[in-house]
Amino acid sequence: MSRPSGFAPVKCGGNPLPGCPVCFRTDSIFYAVGKDRLFHKMQGGFDLYRCLSCGSVFQHPVPIQSDIAAFYPQQYWWSNRTDGRSLTARLMRHLEERYREWVTKGHVSFLERCARQRRSGGRLLLDIGCGNGTFLHLARARGFIPHGMDMSESAVAIARDQYGLDVRRGEIGGSAWQGQRFDFITLFHVLEHLTEPEGALRFVRTLLAPGGSLIIQVPNAASLQARMFKGHWYGFDVPRHIINFTWESLKLLLDRAGYEIRSTRRFSLRDNPASLASSLAPGLDPIGRKGRSGAKSAIAEAWAEMAYLVLFLTAIPPAWLESVSGFGGTVWVEARRVRPESE
């Protein structure tokens, strides 16, 4: 099933009904108004709609590509650089680096589990949207051969400088890794940022080696967190998240792009508690604080870091229980190609 030609909102009784960008049905309903609670870069509200067929929650109208870059602050990526700042700042940066490595180990564990289930022993890994490279750095220590791609020049520079990784600047559909084939490709919190996720998945198929695995993680639009906070949910990250998926809509998208799901996971230590904590206190979110403008003292930042850590640790038990119930804050799957890439 491909997108119908002339795909656009239809009118019913004079009111436009936006078509779902995942299943293309037009039985969507208004869901909430979201605002840029994380960085405060964009003023006003963004309308979110929920598809009654597949459950996806999406922005309408869909932002045009030329406007999307303005949604992201310059300091969107975490770095361990301290630039000669105070001892307090350097200490907090070191502790944050340890924290990030600790919570990212779950991603590497899932990757290792997928590797054990494959017959071939290849370990070539490509992380699309690799950010600062923490995941690739940890995967390399577990025997994977890491490669990365990101559209941000600063992210690529950080990954190279901090960890010495083979990371290239490029967008999905570009030529950064053209002609290469990888045993594993990971897309952690990437699909929700894209206006054409199906096209991205079809492109990724061309980079997968025979029998290779695609590992995807996205926020769960059907989670208890999403239902509780609605437009204020951190997982929707308005306006940067264009399309937000459920288990059903992600499976539908993968099926249409030529994949089958082989394994799943319901809990992410890095993301599930964090999305709950940052929904409750967006002003304390580490990425948000670094992306917002304004001078901040090292002492104030240290207090904010410690307050967020306490909130994060407190959020782990309810986030885990939420996942056990089947309505966790993230959806992630391992999928493999089922049709030739030429289709």
Same domain, 27 and 150: no
d(CA 321, CA 316): 9
Across-strand partners of 49? Answer: 30, 58
Same domain, 222 and 98: yes
Same domain, 243 and 218: yes
d(CA 268, CA 294): 32
What pLDDT shows up at residue 293? 61
User: Domain of 52?
Assistant: 10-70
Angle (CA) 116 261 186, round 5°: 65
Q: In total, how many domains does the chain have?
A: 2
Residue 198 lies in a domain: yes
What pLDDT shows up at residue 13? 37
Residue 167 lies in a domain: yes
What pLDDT shows up at residue 8? 39
**Sign of CA pseudo-dihedral 316, 318, 323, 328:** negative
What is the DSSP code (8-state) at residue 26?
S
CATH code, 174: 3.40.50.150
Same domain, 189 and 40: no
Decide: residue 158, CB within 10 A, 0-12 exposed, 13-18 middle, 19+ buried.
buried
- Each of the 343 residues of the chain gets a pLDDT tens digit; together they read 333 333 333 333 344 678 999 999 998 999 999 999 988 888 899 999 999 999 999 999 988 887 888 888 766 655 555 455 666 666 767 677 788 888 899 999 999 999 988 777 789 999 999 988 999 999 999 999 999 999 888 889 989 998 999 999 999 999 999 889 999 999 999 999 999 999 999 999 999 999 899 999 999 999 999 999 999 999 999 999 999 999 999 999 999 999 999 999 889 999 999 999 999 999 999 888 877 766 567 788 888 889 999 999 999 999 999 999 999 999 999 999 886 554 4
Residue 178 lies in a domain: yes
Residue 238 lies in a domain: yes
d(CA 113, CA 115): 5
What pLDDT shows up at residue 85? 60
What pLDDT shows up at residue 75? 63
Decide: residue 194, CB within 10 A, 0-12 exposed, 13-18 middle, 19+ buried.
buried
What is the DSSP code (8-state) at residue 310?
H
Residue 235 lies in a domain: yes
Decide: residue 191, CB within 10 A, 0-12 exposed, 13-18 middle, 19+ buried.
buried
Residue 4 lies in a domain: no
Domain termination residue (choose one: 24, 42, 70): 70
Same domain, 332 and 200: yes
Residue 2 lies in a domain: no
Domain termination residue (choose one: 47, 70, 93): 70
Same domain, 64 and 84: no
d(CA 125, CA 114): 12
- The full DSSP string for 11-22 is EETTEEEPPPTT
Same domain, 236 and 265: yes
Same domain, 121 and 262: yes
What pLDDT shows up at residue 311? 96
Same domain, 98 and 64: no
Please give the structure tokens belonging to residue 210.
């025979």
CATH code, 57: 2.20.25
Give residues with Cβ within 8 angstroms of 182, minimum separation 6.
Answer: 124, 125, 126, 147, 207, 208, 209, 212
Are 319 and 277 contacting, i.e. CB atoms less than 8 angstroms apart? no
- The full DSSP string for 43-98 is -S-EEEEEETTT--EEESSPPPHHHHGGGS-TT-S-----TT--HHHHHHHHHHHH
What pLDDT shows up at residue 76? 61
Cβ-count burial 286-315 (b if 16+ within 10 Å, e if not): bbbbbbbeeeeeeeebbebbeebbebbeeb
Please give the structure tokens belonging to residue 263.
């394994």
Same domain, 166 and 204: yes
What pLDDT shows up at residue 14? 42
Same domain, 103 and 152: yes
What pLDDT shows up at residue 150? 93
d(CA 143, CA 165): 14
What pLDDT shows up at residue 73? 77
d(CA 336, CA 254): 9
What pLDDT shows up at residue 1? 37
What pLDDT shows up at residue 286? 86
Residue 281 lies in a domain: yes
Are 214 and 341 contacting, i.e. CB atoms less than 8 angstroms apart? no
What pLDDT shows up at residue 165? 95
Same domain, 36 and 101: no
